[in-house]
Amino acid sequence: MDSLIQLSYFVAAALFILGLKRMSSPVTARGGIVWAGAGMVVATLITFLWPQMHNFGLMTAAIAIGGGLAWYSGKKVAMTDMPQMIAIYNGMGGGAAAAIAAVELLGGEFHSRTFQVLAVVGALIGSVAFSGSMVAFAKLQGLMKKSFVFPGQQIFNLLIFGGALVIGFLLMGADHPGSSGILVFFGLALLFGVLMTLPIGGADMPVVISLYNALTGLAVAFEGFVLGNAAMIIAGTVVGSAGTLLTQLMAKAMNRSLSNVLFSGFGSAAGTSAEAGSQGVMKEIDATDAAVMMAYADKVIIVPGYGMAVAQAQHKVWELAQLLEERGVSVKFAIHPVAGRMPGHMNVLLAEAGVPYDKIYDLEEINNEFPQADVALVIGANDVVNPVARSNPDSPIYGMPILDVDKAKNVICVKRGKGKGFSGVENELFFRDNTRMLYGDGQEVASKLINEIKQL
Amino acid sequence: MIEGFTALYIFMLAGFTGYEVISRVPVILHTPLMSGSNFVHGIVLVGAMVALGQADTTLERVIGFIGVILGAGNAVGGYVVTERMLEMFKSSKGAR
């Protein structure tokens, strides 16, 4: 029996790795998640045969409750809300790892001191990932609007963390750790996760979620050592290292370092320093002229931003693109790495509208095509097309890679109002000679453009 | 039981594997991939089941029960959202 269980875990671990590998290419990605899912089913079913277990009724009920709720919420959630859903599921994983550690510590039967140490470390990481992810969820869901900052915050956080560490060390050394000590330890660890996440702004949240994802993986691996479960060790470690790499890639795409994200509230430092006051005037255009401009162009590049997704305009925009293509216009979509709420999020939103992924181009792929484009249509994007990032070293967004939209022959910016972008920086693009502003809600504007083009 | 250096070797090799599997991933897949790796650590469900299965006191049972709920949520939720996202990626050539 034991070798059957071990064999199943081995198969599951192999399926996880193969699944993740397939998920790293858009062509095979769909199959990847199915493979990994099959591995999960095999591992879960075989675990019912684990020797010397009881409480099967409770176990089945818990799986039904947790699985049912997650199934329902996962099916229902809108694509725009995907980041916070990932955060909450990830937090659950961290919480589960912490719960395993709690049960093991309360039981107090460890085969060796090493396992006890790993259990405590995994508990700490898992708890932080759990409560931190919940705060990240609340922030992205809009339940918690403001960044929570107070003087001496970092020192206070450090004290809480230090307290958790000290009690953690005591737990590692104790032969039969007392339940009150265990309780205080988990309390402090959970509190630290909350405090650490509170001051981080919404724009940086994806990086933080990715980091907690990696941490949960690590916690799972550590608890896997404690339980002697190879599938948990391998899956957890793979996610731990893959998640760390993914976190770095995301931070790099946002032009921030990880420590910068974790230890400085965004926006608070980015003062409105040395802004050149009047940079000229914004020139308006109406939908009719914009439609003519695009319909008779050879090449149009559409640059969507999160504003488009908020306006739920992606379907209309894709309809517009198809209409243009029927007239022989070459249409491409240019996506900035941080468009949307997390890297790659905009691709998901466009895919939802039915845009094929080979019409969508990354920043490096498309940037040298802007000079040949007759029209660049910017919808709901702002900071990621601001030329200030190239030219003005005083700007808070200086150095961030941007889409060189301003190099197109004509730029049409669809915008709801005259406000600034997320970073609060004035967008120089809007004042350029080749830029025209088209005011209105993204979906309405797209519908108007479609109607105008149909009448041509 | 996996012990000592065997455990350490597994840890090291799995770490390199994760790094290699993810490197050179196009940005377009960052979100689904994060979601996918989030699903993979849902394997914690298995550990939570074992912990609950060996729980003896009421307190242990309660914590184990919560652990299994959370683990199942991680696994099922992670799968559902990843699958939903990846399902939408289509090529204009219609091939998959």
pLDDT given at position A378: 92
Residues of A in contact with B6 (CB under 8 A): none
Q: Write down the domain spans for chain B.
A: 29-95
Render pLDDT for B7-62 as a digit per residue (tens, 0 to 9). 889 999 999 999 988 887 777 788 888 899 999 999 999 999 999 999 989 999 99
For the record, the structure tokens of A290 come out as: 């914009």
Chain A: residue nearest B43 by CA?
A: A232
The predicted model scores a pTM of 0.83
Residues of A in contact with B90 (CB under 8 A): 351, 354, 356-357
In this complex, do A345 and B31 lie within 8 Å of one another by their Cβ atoms? yes
B68 vs A63: CA distance, rounded Å: 6
Q: What is the crossing angle of helices A230-253 and B30-40, to 10°?
A: 160
Q: Is A383 labeled as catalytic in the residue annotation?
A: yes
In this complex, do A232 and B80 lie within 8 Å of one another by their Cβ atoms? no
Rg of chain B, C-alpha, whole Å: 18
Residues of B in contact with A104 (CB under 8 A): 51
**ipTM score over 0.90, yes or no:** yes
Closest approach of A10 to chain B, Cα-based (Å) = 12
Chain A: residue nearest B82 by CA?
A: A33
- Which of B1, B40, B86 is facing A29, going by the closest CB pair? B86
In this complex, do B51 and A99 lie within 8 Å of one another by their Cβ atoms? yes
Place of tokens 């699944």: A19
Q: What are the backbone dihedrals phi and psi of residue A384, each rounded to the nearest 5 degrees, phi first? A: -75, -5
For the record, the structure tokens of A409 come out as: 């022959």
- Which of B25, B43, B51 is facing A43, going by the closest CB pair? B43
**Strand order across the beta sheet in which A410-415 lies:** A360-361, A330-334, A299-304, A375-379, A410-415, A435-439
pLDDT given at position A265: 53
- Which of B57, B70, B92 is facing A356, going by the closest CB pair? B92
pLDDT given at position A248: 87
pLDDT in tens, chain A (456 residues): 788 999 999 999 999 999 999 988 888 888 899 999 999 999 999 999 988 888 999 999 999 999 999 999 999 998 888 888 999 999 999 999 999 999 999 987 777 888 889 999 999 999 999 999 999 999 888 887 666 777 778 888 899 999 999 999 988 888 778 888 999 999 999 999 999 998 887 778 888 999 999 999 999 999 999 998 889 999 999 999 999 998 888 887 777 778 877 776 544 443 344 344 445 678 888 888 899 999 999 999 999 988 888 788 888 999 999 999 999 999 999 988 777 777 788 888 888 888 888 898 988 889 999 999 999 999 988 888 888 888 888 777 777 788 999 999 999 999 887 666 666 677 888 888 889 898 888 888 999 999 999 888
Closest approach of B56 to chain A, Cα-based (Å) = 8
Instruction: For residue B11, count other CB atoms closer than 10 A to its CB.
Output: 19
A454 vs A287: CA distance, rounded Å: 13
The secondary structure element, H or E, covering residue A438 is strand A435-439
Strands A375-379 and A410-415 turn out to be parallel
Residues A144 and A200 sit within 8 Å (Cβ to Cβ): no
